[in-house]
Amino acid sequence: MSENIYITEERIEGTDDGPLSGTTVAVKDNISTEGVRTTCGSKMLAEYVPPYDATVVERLKEAGATIVGKANMDEFGMGTTNETSYFGSVDNPAAPGRVPGGSSGGSAAAVAAGEADVALGSDTGGSVRCPAAFCGVVGIKPTYGLVSRYGLVAYANSLEQIGPFGETVEDAAQLLDVIAGDDERDATTRELPLDEDETYADAATGDVDGLQIGVPTELLEGADEGVVETFWDAIAELEDRGAEYHEVSLPSVEHAVEAYYVIAMSEASSNLARFDGVRYGHSADAEGNWNETFARTREEGFGDEVKRRILLGTYALSAGYHDKYYKKAQDARAWVKQDFDEALSEADVLASPTMPVPPFELGESLDDPLQMYLADANTVPVNLADLPAISVPAGETDGLPVGLQLVGPAFGERRLIRTASALA
């Protein structure tokens, strides 16, 4: 077993009968589980026990799944390597000595190590797809609104979605079948007409004959040579199966990372204001007035990366700077969405390397947060555009896993699953 995959290993049994009966699931530790600790990888919530289940957990239980543990993660979902967790970093089962990716690294590692059949993570800017790529497994980031976020501890509400991991595309798709659907407790979910003839798992046919693949040239620029070579090998395999590709352009992605981090950090600043040591979570022993206790609680309870993002987000929202930063970031987000819509009018799916680099060595990027932020260049634009994406193993470079990212139109998960299953 890879080190530190789980923060809590308490089992949660589902019903005796259901589509996932006998299936073991790891659940990221920012998804609420009634009576079982949900820490978000933070000292602030190290002893927090939710009084209710997230909607996705309820649906897992009803489907007969057995939850085998709460998976380790970057603190409050903030990180690309899974090294910001208060409970220690996770080693990558597919590349020992390397990071598993973040922030859902424990979930991906659980599947890669065979510790769970499937897993749930959350994806704010690539937090399902990055660890899927680094650990050599499949990860799906659903369209915003396809899966209920009720019970997911919020980091950046307008960007994040819960998504499944599996060893194969069909495994991940079967889990998506269980968790997808509208929820009256989450107003952002959308009621869609049911396709009774084809479940998500049914779509995993591998039929790509005649498929038009768009390759955004901007998402290959600056990528590791070995990653790019492995990416083209995967495209060639899809061509052999009848697909065709052509280059497309997404000029707005040049500004996507900057826009994403302004929006995400601003929302994090607001969401994490609730952790004051009074209502729940860590509470510092401090003499003096409430302001001193509040400050000490947050100083002790949050790690460096979380503090950095709260400070930057608070600054971006402060008087005199809101229009300069946050409003411009939202304008850039609209531009990114427009570019994706135009590209997808010329192609069935878009393809790129999931991550521009292979897995980092443990400790390599801890002292360089900018390097960590820039590594998200291929994944964050998808969240800004509210679109679905999947990361599927494309091969290896120098013995390290490389992922292929496929992006589709809103609620086009079946198309992505059909395409990705030609490779895994």
Instruction: Express each pLDDT in 186-211 by its tens digit.
Output: 999 998 766 657 899 999 999 999 99
The region, left, alpha or beta by phi > 0 then psi within -120 to 50, assigned to residue 281 is left
**Could you give the C-alpha distances from 329 to 43, 267, 397, in angstroms and in order?**
31, 12, 35
Q: Tell me: the pLDDT tens digits for 283-321?
A: 888 777 788 888 899 999 999 999 999 999 999 998 888
pLDDT value of residue 333: 98
* Structure-token match 């967790």, residue found: 85
Among this protein's residues, is 318 annotated catalytic? no
pLDDT value of residue 188: 95
pLDDT value of residue 252: 97
pLDDT value of residue 319: 81
Among this protein's residues, is 337 annotated catalytic? no
Task: Say if residue 2's pLDDT is above 70.
Answer: no
Q: Tell me: the pLDDT tens digits for 335-372?
A: 999 999 999 999 999 999 999 999 999 998 877 888 88
Quick one: what percent of the chain has pLDDT higher than 70?
A: 98
pLDDT band at 17 (very low <50, low <70, confident <90, very high): confident
How far apart CA 191 and CA 341 sit, in angstroms, is: 22
Has this prediction a pTM greater than 0.75?
Answer: yes
The residue type of 408 is: G
- Relative orientation angle of helices 256-271 and 328-344, to the nearest 10 degrees: 130
Q: Which of 2, 103, 122, 269 is catalytic?
A: 103
Q: What is the mean pLDDT of residues 108-116?
A: 98
Q: What is the mean pLDDT of residues 384-412?
A: 98
Task: Say if residue 82's pLDDT is above 60.
Answer: yes
pLDDT band at 16 (very low <50, low <70, confident <90, very high): confident
pLDDT value of residue 196: 59
How far apart CA 405 and CA 96 sit, in angstroms, is: 23
pLDDT value of residue 256: 96
pLDDT value of residue 18: 93
The residue type of 98 is: R
**Residue 177 near residue 63, CB atoms below 8 Å:** no
Sign of CA dihedral 112, 116, 117, 119: negative
**Average pLDDT along the chain:** 95
How far apart CA 36 and CA 47 sit, in angstroms, is: 10
pLDDT value of residue 98: 96
Task: Say if residue 51's pLDDT is above 80.
Answer: yes
Q: Tell me: the pLDDT tens digits for 235-283?
A: 999 999 999 999 999 999 999 999 999 999 999 999 999 998 888 889 8
Q: What is the mean pLDDT of residues 22-42?
A: 97
pLDDT value of residue 193: 66
CATH number assigned to the domain with residue range 6-209+352-421, chosen from the 4 options 1.10.580.10, 3.30.200.20, 3.90.1300.10, 3.30.1360.120: 3.90.1300.10
Among this protein's residues, is 103 annotated catalytic? yes
